[in-house]
């Protein structure tokens, strides 16, 4: 029995594989057919092509470039499930299967993911995870605490601080812990405090606190170190923080190492 256009429109529009663009195009053809009871020769040709395309898709045959199909199939077995890479590869696979050419930007991203999953890259990644030790973890904690007060690396910071067993990738760790600011933090963290809890100090004249005489004038007053490392250091020379109680006061203040010196 010969199918009418009405039947053919109904069949193809019931396909769950239809892309949004193709569905809109077919619905516009259907609307015109309903009004005029006919399609032009060009419209009929394109409609037939779409029918053929989605008939092949229904059988599981990819309409895309065979080489791209092979690359995506290989990658799908290597990427970690439920990751951005896995979702991206799946999206490209669907696009390619529909016969839609990948853009140059998509191909660049695809090449980057492939490079990340070569035998050498996987071995290097495994060695990183195997060699990640308490020293790496301690440094990550120090840097994450500092960056938690900034808008940078927030996703990574949360993972490091919320999960003591979390291991970042080597790229993530180096980005957060090997930049010039992090290096200053680590240097301070690994050094001994210049002052201990027995120290008596005074403000340096270069200190902003020294220059402020209101509401309390602390110029020349002795201060007693109550506690060292009371907060994450600032990534500057003398960035370690101390709790200091000045003579005649009942509440300690927080000062950086660069703001104080030994009382003479």
User: pLDDT digits over 36-54, tens only?
Assistant: 888 899 898 988 888 887 8
SS3 246: strand
3-state secondary structure of 100: coil
Q: Per-residue pLDDT averaged across 12-17, rounded? A: 84
Entry pTM: 0.65
pLDDT digits (tens, 9 = 90+) for 92-108: 998 888 788 899 999 99
How many CA within 13 A on the CB side of residue 140? 27
Of the CA atoms within 13 Å of residue 48, those in its CB half-sphere come to 8
Q: What is the pLDDT of residues 191-249, one digit of tens each?
A: 999 999 989 999 998 888 787 766 778 888 999 999 999 999 999 999 999 999 999 99
**HSE (CB half, 13 Å, CA atoms) of 199?**
19
């Amino acid at each position: 029995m010969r199918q009418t256009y009405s039947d053919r429109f109904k069949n193809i529009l019931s396909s769950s594989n239809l892309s949004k663009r193709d569905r809109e195009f077919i619905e516009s053809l259907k609307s015109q057919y309903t009004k005029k009871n006919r399609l032009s020769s060009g419209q009929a040709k394109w409609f037939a092509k779409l029918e053929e395309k989605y008939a092949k898709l229904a059988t599981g045959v990819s309409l895309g470039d065979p080489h791209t199909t092979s690359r995506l199939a290989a990658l799908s077995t290597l990427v970690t499930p439920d990751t951005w890479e896995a979702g991206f590869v799946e999206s490209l696979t669907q696009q390619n299967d529909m016969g839609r050419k990948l853009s140059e930007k998509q191909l660049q991203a695809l090449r980057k993911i492939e490079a990340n999953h070569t035998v050498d890259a996987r071995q290097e990644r495994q060695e990183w995870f195997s060699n990640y030790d308490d020293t790496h973890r301690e440094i990550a904690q120090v840097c994450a605490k500092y960056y938690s007060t900034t808008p940078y690396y927030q996703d990574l910071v949360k993972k490091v601080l919320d999960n003591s067993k979390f291991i970042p990738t080597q790229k993530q760790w180096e980005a957060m812990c090997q930049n010039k600011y992090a290096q200053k933090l680590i240097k301070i963290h690994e050094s001994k405090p210049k002052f201990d809890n027995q120290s008596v100090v005074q403000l340096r004249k270069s200190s902003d606190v020294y220059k402020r005489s209101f509401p309390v004038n602390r110029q020349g007053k002795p201060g007693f170190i109550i506690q060292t490392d009371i907060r994450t250091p600032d990534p500057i020379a003398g960035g370690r923080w101390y709790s200091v109680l000045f003579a005649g006061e009942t509440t300690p203040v927080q000062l950086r190492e660069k703001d104080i010196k030994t009382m003479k």
